[in-house]
A and B are shown apart, each in its own frame.
Chain A
C-alpha cells in the first residue's frame, strides 16, 4: 500500500441553499479543492461522490454523473457511495483506496446533499425510513431523532446523564459555529434555550438536533510521488482508516448506551495509525444529536464508559481542554448535509492541521499533529473513523 496525502480541500457555505441546485452547490466545494491542490479537473483520475437523497429529497437520481459533468470531471473513474450519513467518508475511503492501491495517482472524494427542496414532514419520513423500513418504520413511524432518543433514554437511565448535560453539547457547538462563516446556525444559545425548546422525540428537543442542511465538501488525495512532483507544502497524510457496521434492526443491538460500530471502527483506525486515543490532538465527532457526541467520547476512548457527560461538564472538549471536539460547530450547528458531512470533517481536520485559514479563535493547539474524524451512518448502522497526521 502506498502512502496517501490530502492535498486540497474545499467546503461550500452550509445552510438553506435554495439559490443553487445540486451541481452548482458541489461546484462551490470542488473548485476550491482543486485550486488548493494546484490541479485542474482533468488531472483527477478517480472520483467518489457521497450523497444519500438522490431521487428522494432532491431530483437527480445519478448525482455523481450530473456533478461530474458540471465540474469538468467527466472521463474519470466514477462511483456514488452510500453509507447514510457517513457516505462521503465512504467516498473518502474509496478515493484513498484508489491511490493507496496504485490504481490512481490523484483522486477526488466529494460529498453533496440538498435537503431543503422538500417539506419537513416528508424529509422526516425519508430519513425515518433509513434504518430497517419494514420492521421498524412501517408500523412504528420511527424518526431519526427518535432512533437517537432511544439511546439517550437508555444512557440517562444507566449513567445518570441529564438533559442539562445534553444541552451543554449544544451550547458548545453553537459557540464555535458562531466563529465559523461556513456554519448553518451561527447563533449562540444558552442551556435554558435548549431546555425550553420544543420536544421532538423525548428526551431530545429542537436544540438537541442538527438542522437539515444543504452543503458540499470536496477533498483531493494524491500519492507520495505526486505530492513530491507537485511540491505540496503541507501534505496531510492519511494515518489510518477504520470502519465497521451495526445491525439494521435496533432491536438486534446488545445495548443502547453506545454504538458498537464506533468502538470497532475507532479501534481499527487507531491500530492502522499506530496510536492510542490519548495521542489525538483534536477530533471531529458525529454529533447529529447531542447524545451522539456524549456517546462518541466514550466509544472513541476519550473517556471511560459512562463518563461522557463529565467530559463536557468539565469543558474538556473545548479549546484548552483535554481534547477539543467539533471546533467547527459540528453537525449540530455547522449543519449536517448528510452526504457531505464526512468530507467536511476531513476539510476541517486538514485546515486545523495546516494551522491555516481557520479563524484564529477556534484554532486548536497541536502537539502530535494528529486529528480524528468520526462519521456515523444512520444510528450506528455504518461507521468510518479517519485519522490524519501532518
Chain B
C-alpha cells in the first residue's frame, strides 16, 4: 500500500481473475505450441489481420481463413521496460518491439537475444512462437 502520514481506512481486498474466451482464435493458440504463428485473412475482401481476428473490421464479413505467417520481420520501433507492472515484477527488465512482417502486418512482442545497445530501428529479426516460463503460449522476436 502507499505510504501516507494521513489517517486512512483500508478497503476490503479482492482478487480478480478473468476467464478470457479463446474459442474463436483457438487455432492461433494451438499453433503457437507447434511453433507456428497464424494470422487471419478475410475470404471476402482479402485483408490480412494480426492479431488474428474472427471477424473482419473492414467489411464485417465473418468468413475468415487461417494463414501461417513467415518469420521475417523488420524492427519499426522498440523500448526497454525497466520499471515493471506488478504482474511482471518477477521478470528481469524486458525489451518490447513492433516489427513489420514481410506480409505487411505488424506484430508487437518481446525482442530477445540482443544486447540493448545492438538494437536499431530497421534491423532484421525473426518472429518465433514459444511457450513462456509460466507455460503460456506466446511469440517473440529473436536474432535472424
Chain A residues within CB distance 8 Å of chain B: 16, 18-19, 59, 116-122, 124-125, 128, 134-136, 139-143, 145-146, 149-154, 157-158, 198-204, 249-253, 255-256
Contacts and interface: CB of A to CB of B under 8 A. Distances in A.
Contact of B84 (A121, A203, A250): A121
30 contacts: A16-B4, A18-B2, A118-B1, A119-B1, A121-B84, A124-B84, A125-B86, A134-B20, A135-B108, A139-B138, A140-B94, A141-B87, A146-B81, A149-B81, A150-B77, A150-B96, A150-B98, A153-B77, A154-B121, A157-B120, A157-B121, A157-B122, A201-B79, A202-B79, A202-B80, A202-B82, A204-B79, A249-B108, A251-B106, A256-B77
Contacts of A141: 81, 84-85, 87-88, 91, 94, 96
A249 B11 CA distance: 33
Nearest to A154: B77
Most A CB contacts (10 A, CB to CB) among B4, B83, B132 go to: B83
A144 to B, nearest CB: 10
The 3 closest A-B pairs by CB, nearest first: A149-B79, A125-B85, A157-B121
Contact of A140 (B1, B2, B96): B96
B2 A118 contact: yes
A249 to B, nearest CB: 6
Contacts of A135: 51, 108
A300 to B, nearest CB: 22
Interface size class of B (residues with CB under 8 A): 35 or more
A6 B126 CA distance: 55
Contact of B82 (A128, A134, A153, A200): A200
Interface string B72-106: 00001111111111111101001010100000011
Contacts of B79: 146, 149-150, 152-153, 201-204
A120 B83 CA distance: 10
Contacts of A249: 51, 108
A59 B11 CA distance: 7
B2 A136 contact: no
Given A124-B83, A124-B85, 10 more contacts: A18-B2, A121-B86, A150-B79, A153-B77, A153-B78, A154-B77, A157-B121, A201-B82, A249-B108, A251-B105
Given A18-B2, A139-B136, A146-B96, A121 B89 contact: yes
Nearest to B20: A134
A278 B20 CA distance: 48
Given A143-B85, A146-B79, A157-B77, A18 B4 contact: yes
B6 to A, nearest CB: 4
Contacts of A153: 77-79, 121
Contacts of B86: 121-122, 124-125
Nearest to A115: B2
Contacts of B132: 139
Contact of A18 (B6, B89, B98, B136): B6
B116 interface: yes
Given A143-B81, A153-B78, A249-B108, A117 B2 contact: yes
Nearest to A144: B85
Nearest to A116: B2
Nearest to A118: B2
A251 B107 contact: yes
A150 B97 CA distance: 8
B60 interface: no
A256 B76 contact: yes
Nearest to B136: A139
Contacts of A149: 79, 81
Contacts of B98: 150, 250-251, 256
A149 B78 CA distance: 8
A122 to B, nearest CB: 5
B122 to A, nearest CB: 7
Interface string B6-26: 101001000000001000000
A54 B6 CA distance: 21
A121 B78 CA distance: 22
Nearest to A121: B86
A134 B136 CA distance: 13
Contact of B109 (A140, A152, A202): A140
